[in-house]
Chain A
């Protein structure tokens, strides 16, 4: 799972990187994308394309791995054996998604080790929503259903992008997401149609998660960096606003039909424009949290870092067996 609102470079650096590309090669590259063909790792590609793709796939991978933490915390306390099995399977999938995505980014020339280092030192980002805590089982149900639903909107769009290895990883991921979505919905339905106490628990989770959910797709296109060239190169496949609208259109009715309310009195579909209207999310909070000052940023990175540090001796011991083997980027 992950959110939109990736942090792309401002356009001035973009121009800098594009300036000295070979115009003939660039034209061929763009023609290939325009024909709907995929770019493969050994193909020529502009430096800017490589850089932005690494950044995007890497952020996506980090989001999967960090995203497994707030849900993973509920495995030991999931209500009943069936839920435990399912949640374990889901969390395993999410970590598997991270592996697939790191592999896709590696084909572009950045090693997984370097990416993990950049995650732990805070140099590269992950989806903001995972910086919030899961107080109750219902919070974990909200994530499984609705955060994954949001992620699917993004991932389905990106699966139509231009980079072969990323698209292949996403096809595999989307197939597994359908289980996450159904499982999450099943959990939420169970609580929402249950006892008054269960209903209240679910409602409180919706109240807590609605603002981060609106942030999930990133700032409105009106205020975010221009990404025309990334759209032309099929790196960015849908705008933040398009993804948010699609999510609202698909899921608000499904939330309402369960008798749950959404904590935004301005939320409604404008029947004339077909667009959802809502209170403008607090983008100052979004920025604050993305820059490190959220309720769980510190814990998320500390857990990752501890795993890295405390697992080092195992890697050292095993690496002794591979002396002489040099790491090279994977092929596809």
Chain B
């Protein structure tokens, strides 16, 4: 009788996992999961930076490494990735399709706002339910509320937006530009990740012809 789990997989045998363990989960003093970061990807020079999803990570540098693997490991190109702590993003209420969030933003929202000096804020808009937020551009402001108001004055003439995300520039880790361009240089070489690399129609045809002859 073995004390270790026996597997068909040699790697699992090497792990020496006890054959029997209790059904209770290993005790933890506190939850040990990492916080989440929201990931934005710019696939091409002429396309907007767009929200792609999240990663769990202990630091923003590791968030970038995970984001790069998760959201830019295939495709023909990528020109930049931004990662932002979920808690660093300020969110407007979500409106109905056909409405415009900018119609609900007026000057009064700035009353009593906590001012913390002039900084740059990036503005992301949601064009439609079900879609992803994409970058509209930046505004200068003394507070989130003022950033909202300035966003209205800068972007409200564009297509209607359902929902806004606003982030202070200093809370964004930006990996983009010439300095980082070589990170994605090898993407077009990874043909083996692409369905196009697995053509087999000829082989099936030849096989069928041989079967018929036989």
Contacts and interface: CB of A to CB of B under 8 A. Distances in A.
B103 to A, nearest CB: 19
Contacts of B33: 111-113, 315, 327
Nearest to A136: B8
Contacts of B196: 182
Contact of B38 (A112, A182, A330): A330
Contacts of B17: 302-303, 306
B25 to A, nearest CB: 5
B5 A73 contact: no
B12 A89 contact: no
B194 interface: yes
A299 B21 CA distance: 11
A179 B31 contact: no
A318 B34 contact: yes
A231 interface: no
Interface stretch (A114-122, A207-215, A262-270): A114-122
B117 interface: no
Interface stretch (B84-92, B147-155, B175-183): B84-92
Contact of B129 (A40, A134, A183, A309): A40
Interface residues of A, number: 71
B52 to A, nearest CB: 8
B56 interface: yes
Interface of A is mostly: helix
Contacts, number: 164
B11 A321 contact: no
Interface stretch (A16-24, A57-65, A185-193, A272-280): A185-193
A252 to B, nearest CB: 15
A331 B38 contact: yes
Contacts of B85: 325
Given A117-B25, A121-B25, A178-B195, A99 B91 contact: no
B89 A113 contact: no
Interface string B135-164: 000000000000000000000000000000
A182 B9 CA distance: 26
Given A42-B94, A319-B32, A96 B70 contact: yes
B193 A89 contact: yes
A193 B205 CA distance: 11
Contacts of A197: none
B23 A122 contact: yes
Contact of B35 (A85, A306, A309, A326): A326
Given A258-B207, A303-B17, A182 B36 contact: no
A288 interface: no
Interface string A296-322: 001100110110110010011011011
B23 A186 contact: no
Nearest to A39: B129
Among B24, B56, B194, B203: residue with most chain A CB under 10 A = B56
Contacts of A327: 31, 33-36
Nearest to A315: B32
Nearest to A41: B94
A53 interface: no
Interface string B1-33: 000010111111001010001011110100111
A322 B204 contact: no
Contacts of A96: 69-70, 73
A43 interface: yes
A207 B168 CA distance: 59
B44 interface: no
A103 B32 contact: no
B101 interface: no
B58 A318 contact: yes
Interface in A150-205: 164, 167-169, 172, 176, 178-179, 181-183, 185-186, 189-190, 192-193
Contacts of A258: 204, 207
A191 to B, nearest CB: 12
15 contacts: A37-B130, A73-B12, A89-B192, A89-B193, A103-B53, A121-B24, A182-B197, A303-B15, A308-B26, A318-B58, A319-B34, A322-B35, A325-B85, A327-B33, A328-B86
Given A112-B56, A322-B59, 8 more contacts: A96-B69, A112-B33, A134-B8, A183-B195, A193-B204, A318-B34, A327-B36, A331-B165
Given A179-B195, A186-B198, A189-B200, A321 B129 contact: no
A179 B94 contact: no
Nearest to B206: A193
A306 B13 CA distance: 12
Interface string B60-88: 00100000011001100000000001110
